[in-house]
Amino acid sequence: METVSYRRPGLVVREHLLTVPLDHGEPDGESIEVFARELVAAGREHERLPWLLWLQGGPGGRADRPAGPVSGWLARALREFRVVLLDQRGTGRSTPATRQTVPARGDAPAQAAYLAHFRADAIVRDAELLRRELAGAEARWTLLGQSYGGFCVLAYLSLAPEGVREALVAGGLPALDGGPDPVYRATYPQVAALCEAYFERYPSDRPRAADIARHLGDEEERLPTGEVLTARRFQTLGNDLGNRAKFDGLHALLEDPFVTVGGARRLSDAFLHGLSGAVSFATRPLYAVIHEPIYCQGSASRWSAHRIRDEQGGRFEPDADPFLFTGEMVYPWMFDEDPSLVPLRGAAELLAAKDGWPRLYDPDRLAANQVPVAAAIYVDDMYVPFEPSLATARRVGALRPWITNEYHHDGIREDGATVLDKLLSLVRS
């Protein structure tokens, strides 16, 4: 393992690059690299502190990059832990999986076979190799998983509980079975409810958003990256509505979208520029490619979100009245409209049709679990539905739930020190 060390104000940082098997079932086969950043409070770098592994949301998102004064959950964690921020395989400084790198694998079947190794089970096995390298074979660490990171926590407790001292989950208890269909049947109504909450706060934004959608149906508008912006892609701005702190940012984007040019209304460059990053998967293509496969155990997803949308009676169509945004859903047309996904279309189709996915969770092992677990379950969560999370909490031994409507999905981001304190007190009481 390669390691580089340096200091920054208040912190000692060690960066690790570890070689791991692409397929942990073939340890002598092809390898990739995973990157992790270890943080410890300055002045405590020589102490024998316990370890905490942060498993961020996603899938396909790199670990946090703390900048400036440390705050939130990380500041609280550094009071007692060495904190490890893992770039989950395919993200950040780990071997990347993007539109530029994946097509080099060969044809679509070769790409799909490669991408099938980027789910929670592989992430857990990467983390176990990292734990042994950093802390030693006998050491155990605390897990803190947010959103998809919570999925990884339950996979960890299913596959390698011997490596875990205690486990903390913030808005990320997945259903243990059932695939993606029940998830989307639960989340579409929640998306609608949060759209109503958003438009209640900003009433003028609903007619303005509907006006933009109509305009995109009538006029061709192009994003700064060159592709045509469609009304259905505009609707995906709703993906941020599950994070209450982002309501204001969406409103700021929508407040002045048009400019008049030669007597005709056009979407302004400022609006198109601000929208472009929000509707692009350029920084997280893996999210789009494996978003539905992360739920699959056995059967294929077959574009679940797209199919379940058809069950919603047309209420999520761009021209529906009243207008609604969509949420954390990935649709097959995205691989035609987003340049960062177009080269991955064939692989995504094969992954959507793939049967025989291995199990991610072991219900019997989780029922008999003795590792202390605390989980924040958010009543109004748009991404990880409340009822399936509650059912999972009842099926995991030694788990103490914290059921709250104080936050939507982003409690660990909005009020991280308080949330982490609450989870630690639950798991240790």
Label each residue of 332-389 as H, E or C: CCHHHHCCCCHHHHHHHHHHHCCCCECCCCCHHHHHCCCCCEEEEEECCCCCCCHHHH
Q: Which pLDDT belongs to residue 129?
A: 98
Q: Which pLDDT belongs to residue 244?
A: 81
DSSP string, 111-128: HHHHHTT-SHHHHHHHHH
In CATH, which of 3.30.1380.10, 3.40.50.620, 3.40.50.1820, 3.40.309.10 is domain 2-176+361-428? 3.40.50.1820
Contacts of residue 64, Cβ cutoff 8 Å, sequence gap at least 6 = 54, 56, 74, 85
- Provide the token pair at 178: 């059932």
Nearest Cα to Cα of residue 41 among 11, 2, 18: 11
Q: Which pLDDT belongs to residue 254?
A: 97
DSSP code of residue 222: B
- Provide the token pair at 228: 């045509």
Residues of the chain under the 50 pLDDT cut:
none
- Provide the token pair at 352: 């959507």
Q: Which pLDDT belongs to residue 120?
A: 98
- Provide the token pair at 299: 């059967």
Residue 39 three-state SS? strand
How, if at all, do strands 2-8 and 11-21 pair? Answer: antiparallel
Residue 210 three-state SS? helix
Question: Distances in Å between the alpha carbon of 151 and those of 117, 122, 169, 277, 343?
Answer: 16, 12, 9, 26, 28
Q: Which pLDDT belongs to residue 155?
A: 98
Domain ranges within the chain, ordered by starting residue:
2-176+361-428, 181-352
- Provide the token pair at 52: 């905490």
Q: Which pLDDT belongs to residue 328?
A: 95
Q: Which pLDDT belongs to residue 68?
A: 85
